[in-house]
Structure formats: C-alpha cells, structure tokens
C-alpha cells in the first residue's frame, strides 16, 4: 500500500513538471511571436512608412502612369527580334558555361568523392557559396568592367551565377547515391574513376539534366536584365526605352520579354519530358 502511494506521488510530481514545462514553453513561444511581430511592424514603419513621400502618391497619379504604359509602341516591335534572339542565346551559352564549370566544382564539393577529403570539400563548397551569394547583376558589372560592353559579359555573368545552383544540387545528389553499387564495384577492385563513371554517374544523371534545364529556364529571365548593366539583349533595349521616357516602348519590350519567357517555359517543359 505504501509503495502504491509513493508511486502515485512520483507520478503526480512528474505530471506537475511536464505541465510546468509546457506552460514555460508556451510563454516563450508567445514572447517570440510578440518580438517577431514587433520587428515586422518596426521594419514596415522605418522602411515603408517613414521613407516614402506619401504626398506624391495618389490614385490619379497611379492611373496616369498605368495608362502611359498601356499604350504599346508597335513601331519598335520588329527591331526587338534581334535583341530577343540575343537574349535567348545569352541564356543558352551562359547555361553551357555554368554546366562545364559546375562539374569540377560538384566533384570537389561532394564529400564522398572529393579527391583530397575535407580540404577540397571546403574549396568546392566555398566556390558554390561565392557563386550563389553574388547577384547576377553584380557579376555583370564585374565582367563589363573586365571584357567591355556586350553579350560576352552577360554570358560570363550568367555562367558564373549558374555554377552555384548546378554544382550544389549535383553534389548533394552524389552524396545521397545508393551505396550498394559503389560498394559492389569497390569489392571487385574497381578504380575510383570506374566507380565514379559506372557506379555514381548513372544515379545522378537525371538530377543533373533536370537541374541544367531548370537553370536554363531561369537564365532566360536573368538574361533580360543583363542589358541593364550593358550586357546586350532585351535588357539593353529596355534601358534605352526607359532612358528616352518612351513608355509605350517600355511596354513593348516587356511584352516581348513575357513572350520569350513563355516560350522558354514551354521548351523547358518538353525538354524535361523528353530527357528525364
């Protein structure tokens, strides 16, 4: 009887500790919610409310600006076909450059096949981070300063920017490969190159191809703004129309960009279905 009482007392004590812990966790969670909400409100106040000239904003001015952009200037439509083709070629060549450079970076950044272990792994991951952390416009400015104005700067910028995404996803796919085929090949004396070529590569090829197609689709969008930094294509045409305050021309360039992106979406969809 005394043992049952002591067991019941321990149970009550344990239940009280769980209830106290839950109450404490609930209070901490509510405090976190309050701090996050206060931070959001403060950010909106500082960045949007206090930093905006509200006296210039009115429904009339917004409707007037919208009407200016609604008048499409079809007279420049034919002259945009060349820049549109240049934009598509920039995206394709930039993706190819990123594809070629991403292969060795993925090899370095995959822990299970990195040639010198953690040393080359850190180098590979560092290159991935560098590529992804710098915006393509910044890369464009760097290459415009290096090689001058033109499509080459845009191709190089998109190629360097593409390295991070392609190499990171492929390296993670390599690290997640099924170990069975690799161990079987190693057991029969296969070399590291043979293991990579016949044991790992067939498992990551679908991921590799799918990510390259996706990156090409993204580069179609990137290439449209490369011209804003002097890298040619539709971005340059957009910049010229904006500089001349031709709102109808701006609307026309945006329409061509939209059509190009839709075409890229359709091509990438069928390319994925055909290859993967």
Name residues whose C-beta falls within 8 Å of residue 160's C-beta, 6 or more positions apart in sequence: 97, 98, 101, 131, 139
Residue 48 CA to its chain's centroid (Å): 26
Residue 10: the pLDDT is 62
* CA angle in degrees (0–180, nearest 5) for 26-29-32: 155
Closest C-alpha among 167, 41, 154 to residue 99:
167
Residue 220 CA to its chain's centroid (Å): 13
Q: List, for the chain, all residue ranges whose pLDDT scores fall below the cut of 70.
A: 1-16, 54, 230-231, 275-276
pTM greater than the 0.95 cutoff: no
Residue 91: the pLDDT is 87
Residue 5: the pLDDT is 47
Q: How far is CA 247 from CA 31, 76, 185, 261, 268, in A?
A: 49, 12, 64, 21, 31
Closest C-alpha among 182, 158, 179 to residue 102:
158
CATH 3.40.50.12780 describes domain 71-275? no
Residue 7: the pLDDT is 53
């Amino acid at each position: 009887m005394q043992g049952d009482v002591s067991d019941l007392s321990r149970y009550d004590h344990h239940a009280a500790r769980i209830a106290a812990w839950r109450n404490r966790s609930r209070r901490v969670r509510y405090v976190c919610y309050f701090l996050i909400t206060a931070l959001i409100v403060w950010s909106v106040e500082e960045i949007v409310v206090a930093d905006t000239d509200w006296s210039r904003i009115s429904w009339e001015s917004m409707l007037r600006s919208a009407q200016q952009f609604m008048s499409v200037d079809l007279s420049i439509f034919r002259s945009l076909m060349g820049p549109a083709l240049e934009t598509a070629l920039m995206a394709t060549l930039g993706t190819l450059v990123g594809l070629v450079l991403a292969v060795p970076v993925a090899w370095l950044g995959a822990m299970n096949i990195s040639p010198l272990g953690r040393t080359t792994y850190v180098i590979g991951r560092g290159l991935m981070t560098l590529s992804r952390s710098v915006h393509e416009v910044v890369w464009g400015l760097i290459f415009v300063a290096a090689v001058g104005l033109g499509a080459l700067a845009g191709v190089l910028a998109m190629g360097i920017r593409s390295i991070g995404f392609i190499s990171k996803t492929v390296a993670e796919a390599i690290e997640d490969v099924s170990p069975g085929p690799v161990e079987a090949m190693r057991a029969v004396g296969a070399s590291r190159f043979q293991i990579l070529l016949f044991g790992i590569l067939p498992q990551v090829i679908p991921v590799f191809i799918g990510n390259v197609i996706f990156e090409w689709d993204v580069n179609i969008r990137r290439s449209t703004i490369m011209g804003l930094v002097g890298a040619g294509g539709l971005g340059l045409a957009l910049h010229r129309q904006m500089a001349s305050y031709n709102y109808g021309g701006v609307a026309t360039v945006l329409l061509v960009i939209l059509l190009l992106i839709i075409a890229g979406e359709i091509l990438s969809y069928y390319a994925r279905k055909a290859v993967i």
